[in-house]
Amino acid sequence: MEKLESEALFQAFQQIPAAQRRRFLMRHLLGMPTAKIAEVERCSDRAVRRSISLARENLKEILSSGF
Q: So what's the pLDDT on residue 5?
A: 81
pLDDT digits (tens, 9 = 90+) for 6-52: 888 899 999 999 999 999 999 999 999 999 999 999 999 999 999 99
| Whether residue 59 has pLDDT greater than 90 | yes
CB count, 10 Å around CB of 20? Answer: 20
Q: Are 16 and 62 in contact (CB under 8 A)?
A: yes
| Structural domains in the chain, sorted by start | 3-65 (1.10.10.10)
Angle at 37 between CA 27 and CA 50, to 5 degrees: 70
Backbone angles phi and psi of 26, in degrees to 5: -60, -40
CB atoms within 10 A of CB 27: 19
Res. 1 pLDDT band, cuts 50 70 90: low
